[in-house]
Amino acid sequence: MPGFELFGEEERKHINDVMDTGIIMRYGFDGPRKGIFKSLELEKKVMEVFGCGYAQLVSSGTAALTTVMAALNIGAGDEVIMPSFTFVASFEAILSVGAIPVMVDIDETLTLSPEAVTAAITPKTKCVMPVHMCGSMADMDALKAICAEHNLILLEDACQAIGGTYKGKHLGTIGDAGTFSFDFVKTITCGEGGVVMTNSKDIHTKCDGYTDHGHDHLGVDRGTDLHPFLGYNFRISELHAAIGLGQIGKLPTILGIQKKNHGILKSYLEQIPEISFRSLPDPEGDSHSFISWFLPTAELAQAVVAEMKAQGILAGNFYWFDNNWHYVRKWQHLQNAVSLNNISEAQKTALLALKDKDFSTSDAIMSRCVSTSIALSWTEEQVHDKGAKMAAAIQKVLEAASVEA
pLDDT digits (tens, 9 = 90+) for 210-259: 999 999 999 888 888 999 999 999 999 999 999 999 999 999 999 999 99
- Which strand (E) or helix (H) includes residue 178? strand 177-181
- Strand pairing category for 317-318 and 369-373: antiparallel
The CATH class of 3-251 is alpha beta
Q: Please say if 38 is a catalytic residue.
A: no
Q: Which listed residue (186, 250, 266, 386) is catalytic?
A: 186
Average pLDDT, the chain: 97
Q: Which CATH superfamily is domain 252-404 in?
A: Aspartate Aminotransferase, domain 1 (3.90.1150.10)
pLDDT digits (tens, 9 = 90+) for 102-125: 999 999 999 999 999 999 999 999
Question: Per-residue pLDDT for 405 more than 70?
Answer: no
| Residue 119 near residue 104 (C-beta atoms within 8 A) | yes
> Structural domain boundaries of the chain?
3-251, 252-404
Closest CA to 202 of 42, 39, 73: 73
With a pLDDT cut of 90, the percent of the chain lying above it is: 97
Task: Please give the average per-residue pLDDT across 345-356, as a whole number.
Answer: 96
Q: What is the pLDDT of residue 220?
A: 80
Q: What is the pLDDT of residue 121?
A: 98
3-class secondary structure, 46: helix
| Residue 373 near residue 316 (C-beta atoms within 8 A) | yes
